[in-house]
Amino acid sequence: MREEALHALFRNAFPKRRGLTGPGDDCATLRPPKGSLLVQSVDQLVEGVHLLPTAGPSAMARKLLRRSLSDLAAAGAKPWAVQWTVAAPTEKGGAWMRALMHAFLKEAKVWDVPVIGGDLSTAPHVVLTCTVMGLARKAPVGRGGARSGDSIWVTGKLGGAVESGRHRLPHPRLAEGRRLLEKYTPHAMMDLSDGLMADLPRILRASEVGATVYGESVPCNTKASLASAVAEGEDYELLVVLAPRQARRASSDALLQKVGWTEIGVIEKRKGLRWKLDGTLWKPQVKPWGHTW
Amino acid sequence: MREEALHALFRNAFPKRRGLTGPGDDCATLRPPKGSLLVQSVDQLVEGVHLLPTAGPSAMARKLLRRSLSDLAAAGAKPWAVQWTVAAPTEKGGAWMRALMHAFLKEAKVWDVPVIGGDLSTAPHVVLTCTVMGLARKAPVGRGGARSGDSIWVTGKLGGAVESGRHRLPHPRLAEGRRLLEKYTPHAMMDLSDGLMADLPRILRASEVGATVYGESVPCNTKASLASAVAEGEDYELLVVLAPRQARRASSDALLQKVGWTEIGVIEKRKGLRWKLDGTLWKPQVKPWGHTW
């Protein structure tokens, strides 16, 4: 199968959208609508790292896009356009490649986000990347605004994403992220891709504050241990820091309550992350998620 | 070396720029200046495919960015921001990773393009990607506007990029691409990454026209054969289609003449790409560059 035929697939699938041009030229062009802010994020999916080698091309394509969309959710943005890259061995064959392409296009349609471009290369191993562009009505809140006295919230339930297989098809909290950004002005917001133990300290460092998290408050998935809920990644739930008044307002939000909306801790002046379980200090006996070079 | 330290490197290197936020949050934000069009392209660099495994991290980082900038050149756009991804085996080690990161940051500084974000992952093999965003004063011309009677031009000289080692450090024709877009309104423009034999047909198909190219007119690099000049990739020169009047005006442009500016053929109604050498039909005995699945 010639590369040209694969390109044609994407040119033909491109839906006409105001302000966007599609695949076919060296560059795509983007004209964000007035009053909208363009936000952008990039993510990777490596065969054997983010999915088992036994995962088929369709599972890879779906997880790839959903993980990236989760970053837009954390920015409170609406998906607008996507660009991707595929590096794969020619030995995978044409059927595999077509299945990957069709699955990505299908998933992009599910989330109503046009594929504006991409790049394809041979490689000894499958590495996919996905760049998502979103439109936000307000500037994303980022990680640096948490203040002492704020409360810490999470959407949904945590833990066991890998063991249960949930990590294969995460559900980006897009509607929830937009609701939070537009209505409750969070002081910090991010998606939980590496787990509370790794991700919360990122907010604390960026905001130059500390926190206490109450283990008994952490919402755990069925069959997931508390250790897994605080230390494992791949949940793709939102981690949100709110001022007390906004937290009270958000606590009764029906959209948030529908997916689960739980207060798990408090931001404090004293730096570092402390854990409590039923009133006493607790130290999760697990290593945080992550890579080392 | 913890991933966090690598992230800090990029946060600290980010230069303050109007309309851009840098690394550190889930998404970067972009606010293109009024009157500018945002253009975007993504490219990959795979160890062993686009550079020999013996190429060091610095060579990889430099080629990665320059290849992507060449796409902006073809769109007549000015580089504005860049986002990249790194997938690499942990066995490469911290020194390799630091060298890669520093080289990419240094190269980005050379081209005055802030690194607004990225992603890092372990993988069994090195795959790098680079997404460049540029600002254009006019909509890029793309590939679909060539008309019968237009003439075909190239910047610089072609051929022998791999053998000579030039492919390791391509020179994106940014100033030339902008000059062409803004002053001579090309009917089609692209960069020669896969060679004339593979790239010109892309313009012809998109424009639903044909062409004759005159072999004796093709500007060859020293030591490069004509076959290599028409069939090999990695030149990263601009391939430009101009209306006769614009071609006459552009022919004396000092900026274009400085890097080399040569008419090599003519667009015709009859579809397909024909080659002539000293007045007789000629068929380059080479396979076009490209991948097959």
- Residue of B127, B200, B207 best to disrupt the A interface, most CBs of A under 10 A: B127
On chain B, the residues whose CB falls within 8 A of the CB of A287 are none
B96-140 pLDDT per residue, tens: 999 999 999 999 999 999 999 999 999 999 999 999 999 999 888
CA distance B129 to B131: 7
Residues in B 136-175 with any Cβ partner in A closer than 8 A = 136, 139-140, 142-144
CA distance A97 to A89: 10
- Residue of B4, B7, B20, B42 best to disrupt the A interface, most CBs of A under 10 A: B42
A141 Cα to chain B: minimum distance (Å): 9
Is 90 exceeded by the pLDDT of residue B236? yes
Tell me what pLDDT residue A290 has.
Answer: 60
Does the CB of B198 have a partner CB in chain A at under 8 Å?
no
User: Which residues share a beta bridge with A268?
Assistant: A210
On chain B, the residues whose CB falls within 8 A of the CB of A116 are 40
- Strand pairing category for B272-277 and B210-214: parallel
Per-residue pLDDT of chain A (293 residues; tens, 9 = 90+): 567 788 888 888 998 888 898 888 889 999 998 888 999 999 999 998 888 878 899 999 999 999 999 999 999 999 999 999 999 999 999 999 999 999 999 999 999 999 999 999 999 999 999 999 999 998 889 899 999 999 999 999 999 988 888 888 999 999 999 999 999 999 999 999 999 999 999 999 999 999 999 999 999 999 999 999 999 889 999 999 999 999 999 999 999 999 999 999 999 999 999 999 999 999 887 776 665 55
Alpha helices in A46-173 (DSSP H): 57-74, 93-110, 161-164
Burial class (CB in 10 A: 0-12, 13-18, 19+), A33: exposed
What is the pLDDT confidence band of residue B293, given thresholds at 50, 70 and 90?
A: low
A240 Cα to chain B: minimum distance (Å): 13
**Pairwise CB contact (< 8 Å): A83 & B37:** no
Does the CB of B75 have a partner CB in chain A at under 8 Å?
yes
Name the residue among B32, B46, B139 with its Cβ closest to that of A87.
B46
Residues in B 208-247 with any Cβ partner in A closer than 8 A = none
On chain B, the residues whose CB falls within 8 A of the CB of A2 are 290, 292
Is A38 in a helix, a strand, or coil?
strand
CA distance B72 to B40: 7
As a whole number, the mean pLDDT across chain B is: 93
- Name B290's Cβ contacts closer than 8 Å, sequence gap at least 6: A2, A3, B194, B198
Tell me what pLDDT residue A128 has.
Answer: 97
Tell me what pLDDT residue A192 has.
Answer: 95
On chain A, the residues whose CB falls within 8 A of the CB of B38 are 29-32, 38
Tell me what pLDDT residue A51 has.
Answer: 83
- Name B67's Cβ contacts closer than 8 Å, sequence gap at least 6: B43, B45, B50, B130, B170, B172, B193, B236
Tell me what pLDDT residue B291 has.
Answer: 54
Tell me what pLDDT residue B292 has.
Answer: 55
What Cα–Cα distance (Å) separates residue A11 from each residue in A21, A105, B238? 10, 11, 23
Is 90 exceeded by the pLDDT of residue B241? yes
Q: Does domain B151-277 have CATH number 3.40.718.10?
A: no
Tell me what pLDDT residue A293 has.
Answer: 58
Domain A3-136 CATH superfamily: PurM-like, N-terminal domain (3.30.1330.10)
Token couple for B232: 């090999």
**Fold (CATH) for A151-280:** Phosphoribosyl-aminoimidazole Synthetase; Chain A, domain 2 (3.90.650)
Tell me what pLDDT residue B289 has.
Answer: 63
Does the CB of A48 have a partner CB in chain B at under 8 Å?
yes
Residues in B 95-114 with any Cβ partner in A closer than 8 A = 97
B205 Cα to chain A: minimum distance (Å): 11
**Pairwise CB contact (< 8 Å): A117 & B41:** yes
The answer to whether residues B189 and B140 touch, using CB atoms and an 8 Å cutoff, is yes
Can you give the residue ranges of every domain in chain A?
3-136, 151-280
Is 60 exceeded by the pLDDT of residue B276? yes
Average pLDDT over residues B19-29: 87
**Pairwise CB contact (< 8 Å): B121 & A291:** yes
- Residue of A64, A80, A129 best to disrupt the B interface, most CBs of B under 10 A: A129
Predicted TM-score of the model (pTM): 0.91
B278 Cα to chain A: minimum distance (Å): 32
